[in-house]
């Protein structure tokens, strides 16, 4: 995939996007170690902020991007690499589904690729075999369309490149 202005936000860094954003309910913080198996308050807030700042429809934030046992504010302090560039790429619904299957692939075993999400409501069944765990995916406008194209934001271009290869 070539980098061009239509699919990569040049020069925007996570630190700039999250500057000044704080978690209001610090008592609900869960360490990033749990981000490897479930959604966390910090991970969710960061994913939401990334998506909202760009108008992307979906945000993926891998657990590996979050610090272990971070409990401070502002949000940017929860990231391992707060100066990483953010990237927005176009992914087909089938690629989004494959990325979610990959994220849930070894659940409940901790997984640094487990995704914190924004813009999606996902139902998964860990009792199903790998590749069949994602039961339903809804966007804010309705069910995920396998052939539809979605703008997806994440930290670092390499993360998104790996999800593009999921199909």
In a domain, residue 4? The reply is no
Give pLDDT, residue 158. 58
Residue 6 lies in a domain: no
> How far is 29 from 41, CA to CA, in rounded Å?
6
pLDDT on residue 16: 52
User: Which CATH number characterizes residue 114's domain?
Assistant: 3.90.780.10
Q: Is residue 8 part of a domain?
A: no
In a domain, residue 65? The reply is yes
Is residue 167 a part of any domain in this protein?
A: no
Residues of the chain with pLDDT under 70: 1-38, 69-73, 156-167
**Other Cβ atoms within 10 Å of 72 Cβ, number:** 14
Sorted by sequence, the CB contacts under 8 Å of residue 162 that are 6+ apart come out as none
pLDDT (0 to 100) of residue 35: 61
Strands (DSSP E) contained in the chain are 58-62, 86-92, 115-118, 120-124, 134-139, 142-143, 149-155
> Domain limits at 36?
14-159
Residue 3 domain flag: no
Domain count, the chain: 1
pLDDT in tens, 109-148: 787 888 889 999 999 888 888 889 899 999 999 999 999 9
pLDDT at position 66, please?
A: 83
112 falls within a domain: yes
Inside any domain, residue 113: yes
Q: Enter the pTM of the model.
A: 0.76
């Amino acid at each position: 995939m070539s980098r061009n202005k239509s699919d990569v936000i040049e020069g925007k860094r996570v630190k700039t996007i999250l500057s000044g954003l704080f978690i209001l309910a610090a008592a609900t913080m869960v360490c990033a170690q749990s981000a490897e198996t479930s959604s966390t308050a910090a991970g969710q807030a960061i994913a939401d902020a990334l998506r909202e700042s760009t108008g992307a429809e979906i945000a993926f934030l891998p657990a590996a991007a979050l610090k272990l046992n971070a409990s401070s504010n502002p949000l940017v302090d929860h990231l391992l690499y707060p100066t990483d560039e953010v990237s927005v790429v176009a992914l087909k619904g089938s690629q989004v589904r494959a990325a979610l299957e990959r994220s849930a692939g070894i659940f409940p075993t901790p997984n640094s690729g487990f995704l914190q999400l924004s813009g999606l409501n996902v139902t998964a069944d860990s009792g199903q075999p790998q590749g069949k765990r994602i039961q339903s995916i809804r966007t804010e406008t309705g069910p995920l369309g396998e052939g539809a194209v979605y703008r997806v934001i994440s930290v670092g271009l390499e993360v998104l490149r790996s999800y593009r290869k999921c199909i």
